């Protein structure tokens, strides 16, 4: 593997333990001001030091993340659809490699929509993005986005993950499901698990634990961290599973201890959490 590509990957997936904690804050690219991510800077700032990498758009990177950070950026380079539009799968590549390099990102990311109306367009775009990114030694994270009509089951997810890997993706993001080993076993590149919509904290810890036990390198978690009433204790508890080999009981105990020590931040304190009722794409 080219040195630059290998070096960038090592910033995202720790080569010492083959684990990764990515904080996802890219939701606004099709959801707009997502609950508790209305002000990205306020959401990201207290969490930044606890993640291995940050997944975001260029707009949020430029406006809401300090350039002094050493945290690697995973830049979403696809878009073109919105939650109120006709079809969420109608995405194109919206950011050039030159721009990704200017932003000094450690990887680029895009969604592919296997089984959807725009399947062909997104798979071809993934192949093209890999070709363009490899010229500069930049890894590509493929997000296996799941349309409402498609089930999150091992048969479908292993199909989507394998197609992403065959197109040359260096990391694949997908969902945890029953029989998850079937998905990880048949995907020749590392798999990272998306958190999905907000669930109770302990369940999100269980999801993280199960994902790693099932062969994932870690989680790319967003809403289950920053939609928690206690985002810092939550990311630290998730980190204890990913990097500290904590089990769910240990992580939940840590979470409760940290909650006692940390007051919830204002942005989260003032708004009781509502379960996100929007249709979810990813």
Quick one: 194 or 254, whose CB is closer to ligand R5P?
A: 194
SS3 assignment, position 73: strand
Task: List beta partners, residue 140.
Answer: 108
Question: Residue 40, interface with ligand R5P (CB under 6 A)?
Answer: no
Asked whether 198 and 181 are in contact (CB, 8 A), the reply is no
Question: Residue 24, interface with ligand R5P (CB under 6 A)?
Answer: yes
Question: Residue 26, interface with ligand R5P (CB under 6 A)?
Answer: yes
Residues contacting residue 85 through CB under 8 Å, at least 6 positions apart: none
Work out how close the CB of 145 gets to ligand R5P at its nearest, in angstroms, rounded to a whole number.
7
Measured CA to CA, the distance from residue 216 to residue 214 in angstroms comes to 6
Measured CA to CA, the distance from residue 214 to residue 204 in angstroms comes to 15
DSSP 19: B
Quick one: 196 or 259, whose CB is closer to ligand R5P?
A: 196
Task: List beta partners, residue 142.
Answer: 110, 172
Active site residues: 173
Segment interacting with ligand R5P, rule: CB under 6 A, options 85-93, 127-135, 189-197, 237-245: 189-197
Quick one: 135 or 203, whose CB is closer to ligand R5P?
A: 203
Position closest to ligand R5P via CB: 195
In the set 55, 73, 171, 172, which binds ligand R5P (CB under 6 A)? 55
Segment interacting with ligand R5P, rule: CB under 6 A, options 40-48, 91-99, 152-160, 215-223: 215-223
Number of residues that bind ligand R5P (CB under 6 A): 14
Segment interacting with ligand R5P, rule: CB under 6 A, options 164-172, 179-187, 214-222, 237-245: 214-222
Asked whether 211 and 180 are in contact (CB, 8 A), the reply is yes
Measured CA to CA, the distance from residue 272 to residue 190 in angstroms comes to 36
Work out how close the CB of 55 gets to ligand R5P at its nearest, in angstroms, rounded to a whole number.
5
Question: Residue 238, interface with ligand R5P (CB under 6 A)?
Answer: no
β-pairing, 20-24 vs 78-79, is unpaired
Asked whether 225 and 196 are in contact (CB, 8 A), the reply is no
Measured between alpha carbons, how far is residue 240 from residues 51, 69, 235, 251 in Å? 11, 22, 9, 6
Question: Residue 36, interface with ligand R5P (CB under 6 A)?
Answer: no
Measured CA to CA, the distance from residue 80 to residue 87 in angstroms comes to 10
Segment interacting with ligand R5P, rule: CB under 6 A, options 63-71, 128-136, 220-228, 259-267: 220-228
In the set 105, 110, 205, 221, which binds ligand R5P (CB under 6 A)? 221
Work out how close the CB of 200 gets to ligand R5P at its nearest, in angstroms, rounded to a whole number.
14
DSSP 218: E
In the set 130, 143, 163, 189, which binds ligand R5P (CB under 6 A)? 143
* Binding footprint of ligand R5P on the chain (CB under 6 A): 24, 26-27, 55, 143, 194-196, 220-224, 282
């Amino acid at each position: 593997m080219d040195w630059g590509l290998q070096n960038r990957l090592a910033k995202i997936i720790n080569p010492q333990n083959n684990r990764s904690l990515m904080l996802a804050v890219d939701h606004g690219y099709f959801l707009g001001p997502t609950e508790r991510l209305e002000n990205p800077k306020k959401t990201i700032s207290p969490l930044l030091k606890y993640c291995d990498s940050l997944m975001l758009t260029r707009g949020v990177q430029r406006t809401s993340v300090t350039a002094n950070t050493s945290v690697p950026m995973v830049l979403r380079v696809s878009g073109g659809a919105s939650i109120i539009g006709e079809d969420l799968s109608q995405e194109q590549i919206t950011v050039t490699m030159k721009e990704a390099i200017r932003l000094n990102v450690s990887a680029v990311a895009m969604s592919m929509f296997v089984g959807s109306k725009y399947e062909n367009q997104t798979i071809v775009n993934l192949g093209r993005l890999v070709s363009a990114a490899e010229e500069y030694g930049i890894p590509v994270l493929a997000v296996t986005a799941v349309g409402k009509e498609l089930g999150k089951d091992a048969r479908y997810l292993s199909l989507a993950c394998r197609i992403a890997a065959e197109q040359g993706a260096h990391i694949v993001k997908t969902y945890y499901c029953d029989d998850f080993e079937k998905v990880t076993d048949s995907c020749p590149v590392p798999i990272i698990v998306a958190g999905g919509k907000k669930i109770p904290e302990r369940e999100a810890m269980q999801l993280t634990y199960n994902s790693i036990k099932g062969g994932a390198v870690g989680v790319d978690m967003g809403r289950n961290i920053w939609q928690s009433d206690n985002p810092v204790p939550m990311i630290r508890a998730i980190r204890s599973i990913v990097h500290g080999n904590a089990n769910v009981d240990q992580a939940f105990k840590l979470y409760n201890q940290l909650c006692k020590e940390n007051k919830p931040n204002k942005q989260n304190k003032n708004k009781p959490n509502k379960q996100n009722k929007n249709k979810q794409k990813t």
